[in-house]
Amino acid sequence: MSLVRQAVSRRTTARATNGVPTTVGLELGVPTVHRTVVDFGNLDHAATTPALTAVSEAVDKVQRRYGSVHRGAGYTSRLTTSWFEQARDEVGSFVGARPDDEVVFTRNTTDSLRLLAHALPRRTSVLVFESAHHAALLPWPSRRTTRLPVPASAHDAVSLLDQALERLGDTGPRLVVLTGACNVTGDIWPVAELAEVARRHGARTVLDAAQLAPHRVVDIAALGVDWVAFSGHKIYAPYGAGALVGRRDWLDQAAPYLPAGGATHTVSHRHIRWQQGPARHEGGTPNAVGAIALATACATIAANRDAVEAHEAELLGLLRAGLAATPGVHVHHVLGVSPDSVGVATFTVDGYAPSLVSQVLADEHGLAVRDGRFCAHLLCETLFDGDGTAVRASIGLATTREHVQRLVSGVRRLVEQGPALAYENTSEGWVAQDDPRDLTEPRPW
């Protein structure tokens, strides 16, 4: 049996302490180049989270009773439709939706922001910081979009936006694109203050909450924003669902995002009448299972928010302290030296390419981190020397103290002793020479 097959068949006791929700996959072991099998250390939550156990159980329940959504007379159709619409209410509640707000189900944050870009009234001017994730940076009309430079602090961000809106003046509809937590460094942005500046100038705001919603409370009314976009795969429901939540006027006035069945009210030879409300932009058969999974994740996180935040705060403190104490390691931020942050530590190691660091951590220590520019190239060019890349370790509910300690010791060992094997940089990335592992595994189907 290969090491991979030994690893995936390994079983350990699922971890659930202090009310922290559990995730699936906790039994996974992974092979290392040392011919050992170790507990998989997931420090890549900022990219994609594993499903919560509660989400997996809800999905299994739905799939046993699944039917077509809307207009079906059969029992499974009516049941699935009821759950789908209850999921809409749950997701809206999770981000503090106001009574007149719409909740439109999408594929992810990227799709949500693209939907809003599609719904912009003519001549809308858009302002967005260059530090934004590409999903928030790129969908807007280029001729009417102002990109603000990467700020040096939270105060600088507020000042830059105020000055930019003052220069823009009253030129028609205006939209300010805000980031809740930086996907590169985890820094939490001053959303309420930025939204207040936008309102003072008569502009609307949309919040990219993909990296914030899993870790901190997001409340549309309290923050003073007009729309919130977030993804299931960042919040422990990785089934291809996301949501755009907020004001209905621009959405109801826009042409349907997906002109198809479900978005239509009536179709005749001479006229098409489109739906109002969320259905207007949810053409085709919706991802009901994904929507219910997202709602389950939202309900589970909301019910255990204090435990989730305490778990992440403990691990983040341990992670940052360990990296800071390691010579030659540099932890990076956008908004000053040590801003409030979700569970992310992004770092570089003197003398080593970030891509090699992440591969060594994976091959030699069974750890998953991320390296690169993190779909935020403009920000990374500003933050990081060399090729503009870094290593990102992001903690979450599948991360344990042992994982964090293993990462810190792995980085320290790399600094002090170098890689355990020789690595060659190929077209497919770094490859360990004389790697004893058989990394093949049968397809799951």
Provide the annotated active-site residues: 375
DSSP letters of 219-254? -HHHHT-SEEEEEGGGTT--SS-EEEEE-SHHHHHS
Burial class of residue 171, CB neighbours in 10 A (0-12, 13-18, 19+): exposed
Query: DSSP assignment, residue 422?
Result: -
Which two three-digit tokens encode residue 344?
């992310």
Task: Say if CB 430 and CB 423 are below 8 A apart.
Answer: yes
Task: Say if CB 180 and CB 161 are below 8 A apart.
Answer: no
Distance CA 378, CA 40 (A): 32
Task: Say if CB 125 and CB 170 are below 8 A apart.
Answer: no
Distance CA 314, CA 402 (A): 12
CA atoms 221, 222, 225, 227: torsion sign: negative
Find where tokens 């799951």 sit.
444
Distance CA 196, CA 205 (A): 10
Burial class of residue 25, CB neighbours in 10 A (0-12, 13-18, 19+): middle
Distance CA 2, CA 440 (A): 8
H helix or E strand, kind and range, residue 204: strand 204-208
Closest C-alpha among 246, 284, 280 to residue 265: 280
Closest C-alpha among 197, 177, 181, 201 to residue 189: 181
Which two three-digit tokens encode residue 57?
């159980």
Closest C-alpha among 225, 156, 159, 221 to residue 187: 156
Task: Say if CB 151 and CB 160 are below 8 A apart.
Answer: yes
Residue type, 345: A
Task: Say if CB 15 and CB 22 are below 8 A apart.
Answer: yes
